[in-house]
Structure 1
Amino acid sequence: MSRWNWIVSLGLCCLSACVQPPELNERPIAERDIAAKAATMVGASVLDVDRYTPSAVLAGCPRKNGFPVEEIGDPELTSAIKQAQAYSDSQHGLALMIIRDGSIIYENRAENVSTKTRTESFSMMKTVTALMTGIAIDKGIIKSVDDPVGDYLLPWRDDPRGQITFRQLLTMSSGLKHYPFGAPGGELEKLLYSNDINAVAARNPLADTPGTAFLYNNVNSQLIGAAIDDSLRRRGAPGFAAFMLEKLWCPLGNDQATLWLDRNNGSPHYYAGLQANTRDWARLGELIRNQGKVGTRQIVPEKWISEMLKPSDQNPAYGLHIWRGAEWQKIRKYVPSSAFGVPHSKAYLAPDVYFLDGFGGQRVYIIPSRKLTIVRVGEVSMTYDDSIIVNLILAAM
């Protein structure tokens, strides 16, 4: 396997128009040459969004107002931003955007990137899935975050795995088996490239008691999205993608985006594969900073945003599908037993840093106490340090 194919696949692992809801257990998985599908991603840049096929289009939505622009007027902050930009560039950065109290104070892009350019976000999609879970609970699609997922994934109703709760899935403490990249049987690769990723996710066995240990696992996110989609379709609604467009994407006023599907008219990848532009991600970050509001309109319940940002019992650096900076770790690991981790050379200079994490340096940082949202995207870098850009800005403020 080539180096680039390995990088893209690893990034995704750290990452619906059917009329009837899909069954999720013990059905034959549609055959696909996984190696051949993976080969289509060899050498892919985060800019090569057209390689993530097939896809569902989230139509662009009207918005009342764009971001206002504010002049900095502070030499120290200007110098810090210049240093932050230089660091981003050194790590193959493509765009850096800083929002303070709702206004753009800095926005810079590479020559081949515009305000409309969509990039692959990898696991930043997980936080979007968490936001959609809060909306689903608010709309009665799911009754409670502590409901067993088997109440919604009906084939799991009489299965021990059906007792896993949405909270355990969202905190990465489901106890479901984690398959490392290249494991025998290629289960992780099948979750990336199979024709039927919901069926792949649903056959994951229990490896530990739910609620006892943190283990970052794409299967958790896939099951959350599948459960929401299943519940919507049983009510006669068109499914997750349409629900997301109506309840989140358009209320934010976001531009056209795409969701990577497993097959034509199939399932989104609920753990990765949302391609959007930096301003779309900034609006998502601002939504969280403003406790679920866009202007005066409550899009996501305030109590859900608060719940998302709380430390989980199994990992205080993780909430409900969002990372927390309050518990500093010099190397932040996705899987405790793995040698792979993300550098955090220094503790954050604010106690309330939260962030959406996409493989290799895709980030949305949210710092409510400083009224800040920072969006940074770039080509995959395995040495990207999470503390540098944020701390440069915080120190200057």
Structure 2
Amino acid sequence: MKNFKRILLYTLLFFVLILIYAGYTNYPKLELISGFAAKNICSCKFIDQRAIDYTETNDNNFSPVNLAENSVDLEQKTATADVFGLKERTAIYRKGLGCVLVPQNKILGDLIAQQPRRILAPKPLPFPYGDALQKDTVFSTIDYNQIQHTVDAAFKNNDIQKTRAVLVIYKDQIIAERYADSLNRNSRLLGWSMTKSVLATLYGILSFDRGFKIDQPAKVEAWRNDQRAEITYADLFHMNSGLEWEEDYSQISDVTKMLFQAEDMSKVQAEKQAAFPPNTHFNYSSGTTNLLAGLLRKEFDSYQQYLNFPYDKLIDRIGMNSMVLETDAAGNFVGSSYGWATTRDWGKFGLLYLHQGNWNGDQLFDKKWIDFVTTPAANSAKEYGGHFWLNTPEKLPDAPMDTYYADGFQGQRVYIVPSKDLVVVRLGLASTAYFDFNAFLSGITQAINH
């Protein structure tokens, strides 16, 4: 009997120690969980007008984010989340700037800031150059049945594939378009890391308009007196700066601390030490993109000019009027992750690249910029260029090899296929483990005998 009690005691003690250890190791993660939940609830509600229960059931319905308890204050335009009553976080919406998590040392009023200037004048031209209906066009080079079959397949078993939108544009004509239930052509969807490609494009425009040199050393004061002084803007675009960085969303890492704790996201990568010489080691880093977003700010005489630049020179210029680039608490664009737009406007972004920077006669950036973003970065297995992903026989073996694309978390894609005069957009909530991008894109491209 004594032995039984001793065994029972030791067993209980063992489980208590496990619980203590689990609590100790997971407690710091609660702030990241509540931060993700509050930020996403806020953005979905105030950028795309989604109900809180819809966001909880869809956008936030994955572990461990679905542990959060959420609420929305319509008057204050805030969203608040906690986990088991712990680590409460609040995000606030600012018109024109999107949502931002409120830092611990800030109050809501501190985050009301200047707005970018928007030019939203409608144009009486058909898509993509205006708001009028496109002319019905039937191309003899297209197998429309195969296109439709491929698009329909993208929405089958959608509790697993989680496709939200598909758009296929051939020769500037929409030849297929479909949305998941409750979404439509006016729904603004988060591009996640596709925003990196948007941020890169701003530098392409800066190079074309002002002669900005991407081969020059990055203008980071703290790097001047050590080996980081050799890091160029091109190295940053190629994700081979050599700086320390951990991009792991499954745990507390550099990227999760940046997105859900940092007030100034542009500083996080800048404060990292060199682990390798530049241009010798590829390491994908969202911190690198946010550093570039902060460095872009230095190219303007005022903060208002910085805010206006993406909209004046890119977004509203090509009619991507739905797009919102969210800023961090320090006012920098979160170029790594937080770009929102309708599916059609994401398609316009792809068309700009398909047309080599020319938008209906308006040249936004030099054709050589395409060469830069599509040239493989050193040591990237030829999969990555200048903030765009590149096709390889291992990536999309049955799609054209000249395909390049913007790529975001949970399977956001804007594919540019020059050899087919084609742009394909797929937006969703599940990535490669649950969605066959090779079958999807090859099914569409093989239906076009261009």
Change in 2 beyond 3 A, CA 1:183/1:102: closer
Q: 2:246 aligns with which of 154, 179, 190?
A: 179
Q: 1:386 aligns with which of 415, 427, 437?
A: 437
> What is residue 97 of structure 1 aligned with on the other side?
167
The gaps in structure 2 that reach 5 residues or longer are: 1-30, 42-55, 62-77, 80-90, 99-115, 128-133
Q: How does 1:321-360 map to 2 (within 5 A)?
A: 321-325=387-391, 327-329=392-394, 344=395, 347-360=397-410
> What is residue 62 of structure 1 aligned with on the other side?
121
> What is residue 316 of structure 2 aligned with on the other side?
250
**Count of equivalent residues:** 343
TM-score (norm 2): 0.70
Offset, 1:218:
0.7
Could you say what secondary structure the match of 1:285 adopts?
Answer: helix
Change in 2 beyond 3 A, CA 1:115/1:212: same
Question: Hey, what's the Cα distance between the residues in 1 that align with 2:184 and 2:60?
Answer: 11
> What is residue 207 of structure 1 aligned with on the other side?
275
Q: 2:365 aligns with which of 294, 297, 300?
A: 300
> What is residue 336 of structure 1 aligned with on the other side?
none
The answer to whether the aligner puts 1:217 opposite 2:277 as a matched pair is no
Change in 2 beyond 3 A, CA 1:218/1:297: same
Could you say what secondary structure the match of 2:331 adopts?
Answer: coil
Q: Give me the identity figure in percent.
A: 26
The answer to whether the aligner puts 1:37 opposite 2:35 as a matched pair is yes
The answer to whether the aligner puts 1:83 opposite 2:149 as a matched pair is yes
Could you say what secondary structure the match of 2:427 adopts?
Answer: strand
> What is residue 170 of structure 1 aligned with on the other side?
237
Offset, 1:74:
6.0
User: In the alignment, is the contact (CA less than 8 A) between 1:317 and 1:328 conserved in 2?
Assistant: no
> What is residue 267 of structure 1 aligned with on the other side?
332
Question: Hey, what's the Cα distance between the residues in 1 that align with 2:166 and 2:250?
Answer: 36
After superposition, give the CA deviation of every residue in 1:80-114 in whole Å (9 maximum; x if it has no partner).
22222233213111111111111111111223112
Offset, 1:122:
0.7
After superposition, give the CA deviation of every residue in 1:155-194 in whole Å (9 maximum; x if it has no partner).
4333432321111111111111121437997432221112
Could you say what secondary structure the match of 1:168 adopts?
Answer: helix
One-letter code aligned to 2:35: K
Could you say what secondary structure the match of 1:98 adopts?
Answer: strand
Could you say what secondary structure the match of 1:143 adopts?
Answer: coil
Could you say what secondary structure the match of 1:252 adopts?
Answer: coil
> What is residue 147 of structure 1 aligned with on the other side?
216
User: In the alignment, is the contact (CA less than 8 A) between 1:360 and 1:384 conserved in 2?
Assistant: no
The answer to whether the aligner puts 1:136 opposite 2:201 as a matched pair is no
One-letter code aligned to 1:190: K
RMSD: 2.8
User: In the alignment, is the contact (CA less than 8 A) between 1:191 and 1:201 conserved in 2?
Assistant: no
Offset, 1:313:
2.9
Question: Hey, what's the Cα distance between the residues in 1 that align with 2:305 and 2:229?
Answer: 21
Offset, 1:71:
4.2
User: Which stretch of structure 1 is more off in the superposition, 156-165 or 360-369?
Assistant: 156-165
Question: Hey, what's the Cα distance between the residues in 1 that align with 2:311 and 2:186?
Answer: 18
Could you say what secondary structure the match of 1:374 adopts?
Answer: strand
Could you say what secondary structure the match of 2:205 adopts?
Answer: helix
One-letter code aligned to 1:188: V
Q: 1:112 aligns with which of 170, 173, 182?
A: 182
Offset, 1:286:
0.3
Could you say what secondary structure the match of 1:238 adopts?
Answer: helix
> What is residue 156 of structure 1 aligned with on the other side?
223
- Higher RCO (CA-CA < 8 Å; seq separation 6+): 1
> What is residue 28 of structure 1 aligned with on the other side?
none
Offset, 1:278:
0.7
User: In the alignment, is the contact (CA less than 8 A) between 1:292 and 1:298 conserved in 2?
Assistant: yes
Structure ID, larger Rg? 2
Offset, 1:292:
0.1
Offset, 1:214:
1.5
Question: Hey, what's the Cα distance between the residues in 2 that align with 1:53 and 1:371?
Answer: 41
User: Which stretch of structure 1 is more off in the superposition, 281-290 or 352-361?
Assistant: 352-361
Change in 2 beyond 3 A, CA 1:63/1:154: farther
Question: Hey, what's the Cα distance between the residues in 1 that align with 2:405 and 2:341?
Answer: 17
User: In the alignment, is the contact (CA less than 8 A) between 1:225 and 1:270 conserved in 2?
Assistant: yes
